[in-house]
Structure 1
Amino acid sequence: MNDMTKMGWFVRHVKIALAIAILCFCIGQITAIPQQDYTLYGTATLEGTVLTAQDGAVISLAVDGVELESYTMGDIPGTDYYVLKVPLDSDPGVTTVAQEGDTAYIYINGTAINEGPQIIGAPSTTARFDISAIAAISASIFQDNFDNYITGTFPSSGGWQLIYSGYGKSFQIVDNTQCVSAPNSLKLEVGSDCTAKAYHQLNQTPNLVSYVADVMVRQQPESSVQDYGNVSLALSNPNIVSEDRIGQVTFDHAENRAIQPGNIPYNFGVWYHINVTVDMKKRVYDVFVDDQLVASRINMGGTGNYTGFCVEAGNNTQVWVDNIKVVASGADMITVDSGGGADYTHIQDAVDNARSGSTIKVLSGTYNEHVLITKPLKLIGASRNITIIDGGGTGECVHVTADNVEISGFTIKNSTYGLYLDSSNNCILDNNIICSCGIHLSSSHNNVISDNEIVENDMGVSLSDSNNNLIYHNNFIDNSEQAYDNTGTNSWDNGPTEGGNYWSDRSCIGNPSDGSLPYSIDTDSIDRYPFQDPNRW
């Protein structure tokens, strides 16, 4: 072989090798080629109103807790439809786009749609999908903590009216000697056989409404128990002779001193947190005292409406009121009582018949059932010590497949999983007792687990393929395995000030501790600031 022949042979083989290299490179890149968008469009309905281009509502779509696309109504001129162009990529390692077959969650102004999660379709395809949502968050109508008034004066500058002045206007004042939120509260004071009444008109009077207030009552020092004074809170209309008291709560001073309705004993000089929810269409209301449901579906009678909120004190009484708030509820209020007398006797029946965004209040009792929640709602027990969901040793006590669900105030026990979040985001699990079952999250993101008693489970809390969850202020006590987290992206404490959790198998100093003795859940999952003692947050 001469030199020219050798050179030709070499060039041919170099070209072949180069071609093979280029082909291999191209094949390797095929899996990462961006694909054409998948398009969703249709009408969007919020609170029963079909949105138009002029409303400016935001429609967003998320996969695995990451928002991939959003559309503001009116972005595309000439259409009242929303249009979501979802970016796709065939490479599963690209987290900023979707893949065909992914589960997507859609929101209207941050509220999950009623229709549930949707499956991403093929590239270059278009699908019409009409969506709707009912906001679960209440809208504030009025609130006042009395901190912006001059002490020693009546807060008329804030719209308050003194309907009755007791034994003198100078005694009905903003006061800085007692308060819940510093520095002030409203004080009403009356002597024998007289009444003081403060009233604030509201600019909205919805059919579904709630009010909250912190209240402290004292009897005048010179009076005796026979004086039988009282304090009341209510929505009312003081401009009519036979005034209807809507959602009234009364602190009676009789010998069996009690908060009514509910007949809850109270002490002079102690603050109580009152929360009342009113349904004007059904003319019934529920009463919570210190976050415990004490009276449900109380019949108000009458036919009148309300125009404002009032506080009234009568007969040798002092009362301080702080942190008043009136809110319009955007959804139904439903009650459950295993003994009857409420809307339903089973939790699942209430869930099945609730609208998205409803609040379901469960009275004390034992509920032997498995609850499946597929829509945004609040499930609130009367008290976690006396409101029990028992799974009978199988399945999940409460299985959640929706976003924006809150579960609070229960003992949940005796099942494979007590609380199971299944591809559910932005949920709150708080103030529950979890025993003989545990809490499990699967592909669930941005949830909060707090103030729970997690006791004697095979597995306390386990997180699988779930990101950006916050788990803090829980008591982990004597679980066979306290916790499991396979991602390392969740937070097991809320920083050095608020701290993390109490772990029965960890000794540390401080509530919270200083970070020198963290608690290890897994290699990348750590509670940096565990508590020395339970319930010390």
Structure 2
Amino acid sequence: PKVKGAELTLFEDDFESYQVGDFPSSGGWEMIFSGAGPQYQVIVDNVSASPTKSLQLLGQSSWACDTVKRFNTNCPIIGYEAQVLVEDIDVVDWPTGRVGFWSRAASNIGRFYALVSFWGGGTIKADGQVLQNYTANTWYKIRVILNKETRLFSVWIDDVLLLENAFVPHDTSNIEAFGLASEMFGSFKAYFDDVKVFYVFDLDPKLELVPATGIAATTLVGSGFAPNSKISVTWDGTPIPTVPSPLITDGYGNFTAI
């Protein structure tokens, strides 16, 4: 997806507001699977991308730690950012740190969408492709934008576009949350910081009158505006009453008024 537009944040979390040693459930995070045990899925202050805390996760063999935070939007273009660090690299090439959109409705154990994974052998992958190598104990900024209508997503690592318009093979209308995971490996921990989930809307809004000419042109049709936003109409500096009133764009940034 080409990012021609503005972003509005659905939620963000730098994990600074939680107590060390706690799981951040007070911030809306849910532990779907507990991995190596709840005692490992906690806020820490000895590793962080931005001072002074991050979320530590640790999976174990045959049992992942999946944590999610739910969100809701009708906007077709959504995205996420997260800082990710994996503490070590091993010869066993199995996913460790993972970030992506998530849905429990899609399968009994849940499913990730537009997923970016740090593999134990030292590579970062998405869509089955190696995007780049990574170094242990180093933070990487992951950014993904997904168009749910076309089911295409793109991936940036440290602000460099490395994957463009990869196809999601599953129905993205099921997406209900953003997820962080330490998968079924268990030898070393993954850390997450500075998480943000957002949606994207067009910066080139359009207005048209229907019909386009004549005195009967009384219907105003707008598209490409900020979703769920109040619209005011003026003519030569004078406010014009509309029906409906107040005039609010829908979840896709569109409206129709008279």
* TM-score normalized by the length of structure 2: 0.70
Cα offset for 1:167?
Answer: 1.6
Tell me: CA distance 1:205–1:271, structure 2 relative to 1, closer, same or farther (3 Å).
farther
Structure 1 residue 301, shift from structure 2 partner: 1.4
- Secondary structure (helix, strand or coil) at the match of 2:100 reads strand
Name the one with the larger strand percent. 2
Partner of 2:123: 258
CA gap of 1:274–1:284, structure 2 versus 1, over 3 A, is same
Contact 1:205 1:306 in 2 (8 A): no
Partner of 2:162: 294
Structure 1 residue 272 and structure 2 residue 140: aligned? yes
Match of 1:238 in 2: 104
1:16-165 matched pairs, under 5 angstroms = 136-165=5-34
Residues 205 and 307, structure 1, Cα contact 8 Å, conserved in 2: no
Q: 2:204 aligns with which of 331, 353, 356?
A: 356
1:226 aligned partner: 92
In the alignment, residue 204 of structure 1 is paired with which amino acid?
T
Mapped contact 2:85–2:97 kept (Cα < 8 A): no
Which residue number in structure 2 is paired with residue 448 of structure 1? none
Secondary structure, counterpart of 1:294 in structure 2: strand
Matched, 1:210 2:79: yes
Is residue 2:64 matched to residue 1:195?
yes
Q: Decide whether aligned partners of structure 1 residues 203 and 303 sit closer, same or farther in structure 2, where only a CA change above 3 A counts.
A: closer
The answer as to whether partners of 1:275 and 1:291 remain within 8 angstroms in 2 is yes
Q: Which consecutive unaligned segments of at least 5 residues does structure 1 have?
A: 1-134, 332-354, 358-537
Q: Is the 8 A contact 2:57 2:65 kept in 1?
A: yes
Amino acid at match of 2:158: D
Q: Does 1:318 align with 2:189?
A: yes
Higher helix share: 1
Q: Is the 8 A contact 1:162 1:196 kept in 2?
A: yes
Bigger Rg over Cα: 1
Q: Displacement, 1:206?
A: 2.5
C-alpha separation in 2, matches of 1:273 and 1:295? 14
Structure 2 unaligned residues grouped into runs of 5+: 206-258
**Is the contact between residue 277 and residue 287 of structure 1 (CA under 8 Å) also seen in structure 2?**
yes
In percent, how many aligned pairs have the same letter?
24
Give the 5 Å matches for 1:268-417: 268-304=136-172, 305-314=174-183, 315-316=185-186, 317-331=188-202, 356=204
SS for the counterpart of 2:87 is: strand
CA distance in 2, matches of 1:247, 1:320: 19
Contact persistence 2:44–2:56 (CA under 8 A): yes
Length-normalised TM-score, structure 1: 0.35
How far apart are residue 330 of structure 1 and its match? 0.6
CA distance in 2 between partners of 1:259 and 1:226 (Å): 14
Distance 1:245 1:273, change over 3 A: same
SS in 1 for 2:189: strand
- For the residue of structure 2 that corresponds to 1:170, the secondary structure is helix
Cα RMSD, aligned residues only: 2.0
SS of structure 1 residue aligned to 2:201: coil
Q: Give 1:226 deviation, angstroms.
A: 2.6
Q: Distance in 2 between matches of 1:276 and 1:229?
A: 18
Larger relative contact order (CA 8 Å, sep ≥ 6): 2
What letter corresponds to residue 274 of structure 1 in structure 2?
Answer: I
Measure how far apart 1:232 and its partner are.
Answer: 1.4
Output the CA distance in 1 between the equivalents of 2:30 and 2:69: 6
Aligned residues: 195
User: Are the aligned partners of 1:218 and 1:318 in contact in 2 as well (CA < 8 Å)?
Assistant: yes
Assess, with a 3 A threshold, how the Cα gap between structure 1 residues 244 and 229 changes in structure 2: closer, same or farther. closer
Q: How far did 1:311 drift?
A: 0.7
Hey, what's the Cα distance between the residues in 2 that align with 1:300 and 1:322? 25
Greater Cα offset, 138-147 or 301-310: 301-310
Deviation at 1:227, TM superposition (A): 6.2
What displacement does 1:200 show? Answer: 0.4
Residue identity matched to 2:192: V
1:205 shift after superposition: 5.0
CA contact (8 A) 2:84 2:97 kept: no
